[in-house]
């Protein structure tokens, strides 16, 4: 074998290995990266240890958290349902839960299962910026949208009755002397496929019931306050498991991964 052929084969092998590593870090079943913390393994124990209700202006649930532990409908093990009684009828903000830990830049993995048609919930970055979970709807307010701003580049949702996974890298807004100088950004994978690449997020949507800064200048008044990862209760059987988060420092860096 001559040296040029060997070099080409070695290069191809390196690319294949790199691709495999990236793929292994995203999608259903992805294991926590080194330095990450598991926030929800599907058990009530992990829920109560790592999460709390977000007590916003519409909060009407009662402690302890009423999100029930259910049998995993696909695999062995458990999952947590977002069907809190206080959220019945779509009352977002009434019984949403948020991690006790708060974050600036981070990488997160979230697995979700929609049991019934029209199932509705949401994943909020920093308890501000929603990645929508809404069965049967695509568009800027539909499934996998960075809500009201960015539509996913492809439709990768597996549908009801199957586990799905978001993999997210998020960079918080930057401030200098109390002034906003750089808006937040995010890259998102759905089921191992990149659907948002380093997208800038303009504001918080949904008003004061939606999360931090939602009622501040119509959601445009983003403040320099870390926030947790929030999950939304809207009275639907949307289940969660295998949620892990790793803190990052993305100063001078893109969120693309």
> What's residue 202's pLDDT?
98
> What's residue 1's pLDDT?
52
Peptide bond into 64 cis (omega under 30): yes
Q: What CA–CA distances, in Å, run from 35 to 32, 69, 248?
A: 8, 27, 10
Task: Identify the segments of the chain with pLDDT beneath 70.
Answer: 1-24
Query: What's the predicted TM-score (pTM) here?
Result: 0.91
> What's residue 2's pLDDT?
52
- Cα–Cα distance between 99 and 227 in angstroms, integer? 8
Strand, coil or helix: what is 49? Answer: helix
Where along the chain do its domains lie?
3-248
* 3-248: CATH number: 2.60.120.560
| Cα separation of the two ends of the chain | 35
């Amino acid at each position: 074998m001559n040296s040029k052929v060997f070099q080409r084969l070695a290069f191809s092998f390196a690319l294949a290995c790199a691709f495999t590593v990236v793929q292994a870090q995203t999608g259903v079943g992805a294991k926590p990266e080194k330095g990450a913390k598991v926030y929800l393994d599907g058990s009530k124990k992990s829920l109560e240890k790592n999460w709390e209700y977000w007590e916003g202006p519409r909060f009407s649930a009662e402690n302890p958290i009423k999100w029930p532990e259910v049998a995993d409908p696909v695999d062995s093990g458990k999952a947590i349902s977002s069907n809190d009684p206080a959220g019945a009828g779509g009352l977002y903000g009434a019984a949403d839960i948020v991690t006790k830990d708060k974050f600036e830049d981070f990488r997160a993995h979230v697995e979700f299962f929609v049991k019934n048609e029209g199932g509705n919930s949401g994943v909020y970055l920093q308890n501000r910026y929603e990645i929508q979970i809404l069965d049967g709807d695509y568009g800027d307010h539909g499934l996998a949208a960075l809500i009201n701003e960015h539509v996913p580049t492809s439709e990768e949702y597996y549908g009801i009755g199957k586990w799905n996974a978001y993999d997210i890298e998020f960079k918080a807004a930057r401030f200098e002397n109390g002034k906003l100088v750089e808006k937040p950004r995010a890259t998102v994978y759905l089921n191992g496929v990149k659907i948002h690449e380093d997208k800038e997020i303009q504001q918080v949507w949904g008003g004061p019931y939606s999360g931090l800064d939602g009622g501040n200048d119509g959601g445009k008044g983003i403040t320099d306050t870390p926030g947790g990862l929030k999950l939304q209760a809207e009275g639907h059987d949307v289940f969660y498991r295998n949620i892990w988060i790793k803190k990052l420092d993305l100063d001078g860096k893109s969120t693309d991964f």
